[in-house]
Amino acid sequence: MSEPAGETKLEPKQASKEVKESENVAEKYSAMTVSKNSEVTMGELSSVFTAVPTHKPVKKQIQFVEDKQEFSRFPTKAGRRSLSRSISQSSTDSYSSAASYTDSSDDETSPRDKTQVNSKGSSDFCVKNIKQAEFGRREIEIAEQDMSALIALRKRAQGEKPLAGAKIVGCTHITAQTAVLIETLVALGAQCRWTACNIYSTQNEVAAALSESGVAVFAWKGESEDDFWWCIDRCINTEGWQPNMILDDGGDLTHWVYKKYPNVFKKIRGIVEESVTGVHRLYQLSKAGKLCVPAMNVNDSVTKQKFDNLYCCRESILDGLKRTTDVMFGGKQVIVCGYGEVGKGCCAALKALGAIVYVTEIDPICALQACMDGFRVVKLNEVIRQVDVIITCTGNKNVVTRDQLDRMKNGSIVCNMGHSNTEIDVASLRTPELTWERVRSQVDHVIWPDGKRVILLAEGRLLNLSCSTVPTFVLSITATTQALALIELYNAPEGRYKQDVYLLPKKMDEYVASLHLATFDAHLTELSDEQAKYLGLNKNGPFKPNYYRY
Amino acid sequence: SVHLTMSVQVVAAKMAEVELKDVPGKDLAAESPVTPMSEGKNLAKNDPHEAGSSAAASPTAEPSVKAGESSPGLLTPNPVKMPQASAMKRPDPQQNGGEAFVNRDGTVAEAPRMKKIQFADQKQEFNKRPTKIGRRSLSRSISQSSTDSYSSAASYTDSSDDETSPRDKQQKNSKGNGDFCIKNIKQADFGRREIEIAEQEMPALMALRKRAQGEKPLAGAKVVGCTHITAQTAVLMETLSALGAQCRWAACNIYSTQNEVAAALAEGGFSVFAWKGESEDDFWWCIDRCVNLEGWQPNMILDDGGDLTHWIYKKYPNMFKKIKGIVEESVTGVHRLYQLSKAGKLCVPAMNVNDSVTKQKFDNLYCCRESILDGLKRTTDVMFGGKQVVVCGYGEVGKGCCAALKAMGSIVYVTEIDPICALQACMDGFRLVKLNEVIRQVDIVITCTGNKNVVVREYLDRMKNGCIVCNMGHSNTEIDVASLRTPELTWERVRSQVDHVIWPDGKRIVLLAEGRLLNLSCSTVPTFVLSITATTQALALIELYNAPEGRYKQDVYLLPKKMDEYVASLHLPTFDAHLTELTDEQAKYLGLNKNGPFKPNYYRYY
């Protein structure tokens, strides 16, 4: 993962330049996700969307999920910002309930070499085993329970078929939740062809169930790189069918279409992109003047952000720690490094369980928030000897160093909620005098010569990706956002969206939230005409200016 | 964030026409499209939850008229116009270079003409400048309520016997200087004590004095100021002075001046022109005395409400040639600056300190989180555990109220109109209801919507006996108090700020502060919150005064993020909080400067 420094700097610079041109949204990436760039494989950036035929990033490498799950081919898929879709990546992990448990690993034949037909006689798909369809259907039905927003959307919009005529080509993780999204899109009138954005994340049974129901799916778990692009190509390159919408996660599909079938863009009404990487690539395109259709950045919608970060981490920190260590939280001294959205979530959860929580921060505003929320703001060094649990969520590197690890007390737990594996200097623990003992999956005891043990979780990688699951409800937020973005782009009158990257309109963002209120039996108050007038608002929103901080 | 907002606006404006035709069933689809215009302009107003925003704004329209009816002390000849002047919207700081907002009726405020003066004691939130009492400008306007029964900051040493106008008195301080006009210079000792108490809770300014004293960043600065004159302001002025500035000061409110503090300042050599209970004529006379002086021309303006700026524009426009910048603290004043800027008449850089993140958080979330409990306790001695409370609105104020009540063991319900805030309430563990669903069972109703008629007579009729009704939102529009002024209901004043409204069947409702702002009426604003504001003002002055030629144009600016962060950092020692510093390597990795700014401008601190 270590990178030539020069290369690492590349992206931030580009991103910050972009600020001016692409309206500052990109600044976010430079400021908040720069760190992720350290994992950008050489060549990727430069090759992104360039017309150079050697499309395959020189150094592109495929890693085994078990070993390096957050080093996905495209770095940010594992980053927090794209958490909700990328989580399925970790579904292959021991704890995940979403794993392809029905896989018969005996079958070594590549799906590409098999001829399969679904019960209706169609063979326009390529999945591991069509016979798993029933299992997959069950998974999908379970997911539907927690994705009531999409189901509601189906019911509300089914009569009108807002996506009638839409031909959507999609490239996302293929999981039960995605299946609910796809089937919603179909219910709204769209035709869909789908492929996986990650070679490991596909749930084979779900892919089978989709194929059985007539969606052209090209994906299986454990594709090779060649398979990966072959699947994408099969989605697009089909006789008598041209997509007019793109739903992408990571930008690979968009990239492929740009490279291979630029003419397809003549018919395309818009791109909906979900990941940080993909959005970044879109901004690059836009900057270069090469973006020839409108694109919607759904990653940065308020509702999605809140759920990916604050709410999700508030639960997964407890879940992840319990599953791995069975620690009891009451009265434990915990230090949380970083008080951004993730840190706020972790602190709130731990405080609620009676832990004594310390916070470290670099930003005085966030530090002051921590103070006002009742947390002691300290430097890590000041409490390192006394704390029982250390949680990093800074997005930074080397927040916990060997020096600090040396001073921790026996039995203290170290884990990372921030991103990737840069926050804890795990490499520094790989020295001869320290003994590593794997006590459980994702749990290592690192033993000092004097017998002191430090419990390292997930080898410093993201705890919530490795050791807990992402609730379907969170994925529902993302999927609903994507569906609405598609509807919006598809139905927008000529000229509303230019060839640029847009944020989801506030009103749509509010609509995503409102679709999820039913889950809580929450009853939204409506403005009276008089009140709406008084406030100068439309009764149906948007209710806040775009810069509102929630 | 400027850019973000803008880019988003493009979408927003367009999206305005969005009509999800395809999604039937939901009103979203059906409703008439928002016009792009409304998105643009109303950016300002769409913000009911940060009460002051729209709050201080339009609402003032009605209340001030009402005030006109009921307040005998109303001196203004033209009460109806004034609301327009005040129709304050949230000045959109991000708005590209200070696009100003037009009032709902399209009028632009002309200040002094419509100025009216009210008695603080009677109508404390109907200040002459409405927004001074809006939430957004809470921290400075609070002194206004200092005249209230509960306030510890009142001018308790006043000898009310002395009826001579300060303008007719000849006073000199102990150094023989007579360049000031205050109630009574002999009160200086009392004032000094007040100032010393305030200093204890304003560590940031004290730290700033120490840090910057050596280099005197304001050396040569001639600051003319128009703010509430309270002990906290005094600490600010003395800090500015310690940093090298010369100051002349007037009050921005005819009632808020603490006479002893003014005396202490005058004794300390400051030219202060202010006393409690000025007439309108006095008010402008004081401002004029600050500005109009032989051999002294200001080069910086610190304003709260925009009166001082207005006066200079009107009377001494040439003065702006020497002025390096304006620092404005209130919503109203900021709005006026945006208007000026829009009209192309702003001829110096101006700094909007009202919308800095730190200040906003303290004015709304943190301040209300404490004052809701304080206000309810002081007035009703209610015990919170197990009580059922409904909080209307889940913006910053609502979030603060809910957090505090939940911590006290109350069962909290929330009402909302905005689905995003509603979802936040759900995820924070509050039941989201409509008011009429719980109105019969709740013990306390708290409004913080910034809206009008949130609690109407119909609801009041259905409340149970002993239910407490109060308003944290803004002004007195949220609870339809007027509807309670009917013959069949009996009003009984049981304490200051507490009324029992009694129904014919004997049911009583406990109405606090007659539906006006509970936290202005029945609790105090901690000096710590005022310290945030004062520090922000000081830093804005330093920034503008020292900015190299050309950094700031003739426009309205937000306090740079870095300064905002610095304000926060100066307050960290109070908590014995130890900020972590980035290593060079880490800073490089994140692409940040080690000393900030640490976040992009649009970052949502939650």
The DSSP symbol for A36 reads G
- Nearest residue of B to residue A20, measured between CA atoms: B3
What's the pLDDT score for residue B360?
87
pLDDT digits (tens, 9 = 90+) for A154-190: 998 878 899 999 999 999 999 999 999 999 999 999 9
Cβ–Cβ gap B20/A311 under 8 Å? no
Backbone φ, ψ for residue A503 (5° rounding): -90, 155
- Nearest residue of A to residue B7, measured between CA atoms: A23
Residues B290, B183 share a domain: yes
Residues A324, A286 share a domain: no
- pLDDT-based confidence at B153, cuts 50/70/90? very low
Q: Is position B205 within any domain?
A: yes
The DSSP symbol for B96 reads T
- pLDDT-based confidence at B243, cuts 50/70/90? very high
Element (H, E) at B389: strand B388-392
Residues B263, B403 share a domain: no
The answer to whether residue B289 scores a pLDDT higher than 80 is yes
pLDDT digits (tens, 9 = 90+) for A127-154: 999 999 999 999 999 999 989 999 999 9
SS (H, E, C) B411-451: EEEEECCCHHHHHHHHHCCCEECCHHHHCCCCCEEEECCCC
Residues B405, B472 share a domain: yes
Which of B417, B480, B565 to probe the A interface (max A CBs under 10 A)?
A: B417
Residues A292, A160 share a domain: yes
> Which strands make up the sheet holding B325-328, listed edge to edge?
B271-273, B246-251, B222-227, B300-303, B325-328, B350-352, B556-558
Q: What is the mean pLDDT of residues B211-240?
A: 93
Cβ–Cβ gap B15/A506 under 8 Å? yes
What's the pLDDT score for residue B160?
52
Average pLDDT, chain B: 78
**In chain B, what residues touch A162 (CB-CB under 8 Å)?**
20-23
What's the pLDDT score for residue A105?
53
* Residue A117 C-alpha, separation from nearest chain B C-alpha, in angstroms: 34
**In chain B, what residues touch A493 (CB-CB under 8 Å)?**
17
The answer to whether residue B121 scores a pLDDT higher than 70 is no
- Nearest residue of A to residue B604, measured between CA atoms: A549
Cβ–Cβ gap B27/A536 under 8 Å? no
C-alpha angle A167/A172/A173, rounded to 5°? Answer: 140
Q: Which residues of B308-322 are buried (b: 16+ CB within 10 A; e: fewer)?
A: bbbbbbeeeeebbee
Instruction: Find the range with the poorest average confidence among A346-360, B240-254, B520-534.
Output: B520-534
Cβ–Cβ gap B577/A376 under 8 Å? yes
Q: Crossing angle for the helix pair B527-546 and B203-213, nearest 10 degrees?
A: 30
Nearest-CA neighbor of A234 among A221, A248, A222, A216? A216
What's the pLDDT score for residue B161?
55
* Residue A21 C-alpha, separation from nearest chain B C-alpha, in angstroms: 9
Instruction: Quote the CA–CA distance of B165 and B153 in Å, as a whole number.
Output: 22
**In chain B, what residues touch A35 (CB-CB under 8 Å)?**
589-590
Residues comprising chain B, all counted: 606
Query: Which is more confidently placed, B17 or A474?
Result: A474
Nearest-CA neighbor of B83 among B100, B70, B99, B66? B66
Q: What is the mean pLDDT of residues B253-259?
A: 89
Rg of chain B on CA atoms, in Å:
24
Residues contacting residue B128 through CB under 8 Å, at least 6 positions apart: B76, B82, B115, B116, B117, B118, B253, B254
What's the pLDDT score for residue A107?
65
Cα dist from B76 to B62, B82, B128, whole Å = 15, 9, 9
The strand pair at A295-297 and A270-273 is best described as parallel
DSSP letters, A229-261, are: HHHHHHHH-BTTB--SEEEESSSHHHHHHHHH-
Instruction: Quote the CA–CA distance of A49 and A61 in Å, as a whole number.
Output: 18
CATH of the domain at A331: 3.40.50.720
Residues B282, B349 share a domain: yes
Q: Is position B234 within any domain?
A: yes
Which of A25, A297, A368 to probe the B interface (max B CBs under 10 A)?
A: A368
CATH of the domain at A132: 3.40.50.1480
Instruction: Quote the CA–CA distance of A305 and A324 in Å, as a whole number.
Output: 26
Q: Is position A53 within any domain?
A: no
What's the pLDDT score for residue B38?
36
The answer to whether residue B67 scores a pLDDT higher than 50 is no
Shortest CB distance from A303 goes to which of B23, B423, B575? B423
Q: What is the mean pLDDT of residues A248-252?
A: 93
Which of B566, B590, B592, B594 to probe the A interface (max A CBs under 10 A)?
A: B590
Shortest CB distance from A160 goes to which of B22, B454, B606? B22
Residues B289, B277 share a domain: yes
Residues forming beta bridges with residue A437, ordered by sequence position = A445
Shortest CB distance from B23 goes to which of A162, A341, A526? A162
Q: Is position A480 within any domain?
A: yes
Cβ–Cβ gap B28/A372 under 8 Å? no
Cβ–Cβ gap B590/A376 under 8 Å? no
What's the pLDDT score for residue A467?
81
Q: Is position B416 within any domain?
A: yes
Cβ–Cβ gap A379/B578 under 8 Å? yes
Q: Is position B107 within any domain?
A: no
Which of A525, A539, A540 to probe the B interface (max B CBs under 10 A)?
A: A525
What's the pLDDT score for residue A276?
83
Q: What is the mean pLDDT of residues A21-49?
A: 35
3-class secondary structure, A357: strand
In 10 A of CB B5, how many CB atoms?
23
- pLDDT-based confidence at A221, cuts 50/70/90? very high
Cβ atoms B110, B82 nearer than 8 A: no
Residues B492, B423 share a domain: yes
pLDDT digits (tens, 9 = 90+) for B408-462: 999 999 999 999 999 999 999 999 999 999 999 999 999 999 899 999 999 999 9
Nearest-CA neighbor of A33 among A396, A400, A399? A396
The answer to whether residue A47 scores a pLDDT higher than 60 is no
* Residue B360 C-alpha, separation from nearest chain A C-alpha, in angstroms: 11
Shortest CB distance from A505 goes to which of B11, B26, B600? B11
**In chain B, what residues touch A18 (CB-CB under 8 Å)?**
none
- pLDDT-based confidence at B522, cuts 50/70/90? confident
Instruction: Find the range with the poorest average confidence among A107-111, B243-247, B466-470.
Output: A107-111
Which of B5, B11, B394, B581 to probe the A interface (max A CBs under 10 A)?
A: B11
Residues A275, A338 share a domain: no
**In chain A, what residues touch B452 (CB-CB under 8 Å)?**
530-531, 534
| H helices present in B228-356, as ranges | 231-242, 259-267, 280-291, 307-315, 331-342
Q: What is the mean pLDDT of residues A339-359?
A: 95
**In chain B, what residues touch A540 (CB-CB under 8 Å)?**
27-28, 31
pLDDT digits (tens, 9 = 90+) for B304-343: 999 999 999 999 999 999 999 999 988 889 889 999 999 9
Cβ–Cβ gap B585/A397 under 8 Å? yes
Q: Which of A423, A449, A467 is the last residue of a domain?
A: A467
Q: Is position B118 within any domain?
A: no
**In chain B, what residues touch A16 (CB-CB under 8 Å)?**
591
Cβ–Cβ gap B426/A517 under 8 Å? yes
pTM higher than 0.80, yes or no? no
* Residue B223 C-alpha, separation from nearest chain A C-alpha, in angstroms: 28
Instruction: Quote the CA–CA distance of B14 and B259 in Å, as a whole number.
Output: 54
Cis peptide before A542 (omega within 30 of 0): yes
* Residue A543 C-alpha, separation from nearest chain B C-alpha, in angstroms: 6
The answer to whether residue B250 scores a pLDDT higher than 90 is yes
Shortest CB distance from A531 goes to which of B453, B574, B602? B453
- Nearest residue of B to residue A378, measured between CA atoms: B578
* Residue B89 C-alpha, separation from nearest chain A C-alpha, in angstroms: 10
The range of the structural domain enclosing residue A126 comes to: 113-304+470-520
- Nearest residue of A to residue B399, measured between CA atoms: A550
pLDDT digits (tens, 9 = 90+) for A426-475: 999 999 999 999 999 899 999 999 999 999 999 999 888 778 878 889 99
Instruction: Find the range with the poorest average confidence among A58-62, B473-477, B576-580, B588-592.
Output: A58-62
Q: Is position A100 within any domain?
A: no
E strands, B176-324, in order: 222-227, 246-251, 271-273, 300-303
Cβ–Cβ gap A525/B415 under 8 Å? yes
**In chain A, what residues touch B51 (CB-CB under 8 Å)?**
none
Cβ–Cβ gap B426/A520 under 8 Å? yes
- Nearest residue of A to residue B580, measured between CA atoms: A362
- pLDDT-based confidence at B162, cuts 50/70/90? low
Cβ–Cβ gap B58/A398 under 8 Å? no
Cβ atoms A550, A307 nearer than 8 A: no
Residues A453, A372 share a domain: yes
Domain tally, chain B: 2
Residues A441, A316 share a domain: yes
- Nearest residue of B to residue A16, measured between CA atoms: B591
Residues B455, B374 share a domain: yes
**In chain B, what residues touch A516 (CB-CB under 8 Å)?**
423
Cβ atoms B145, B520 nearer than 8 A: yes
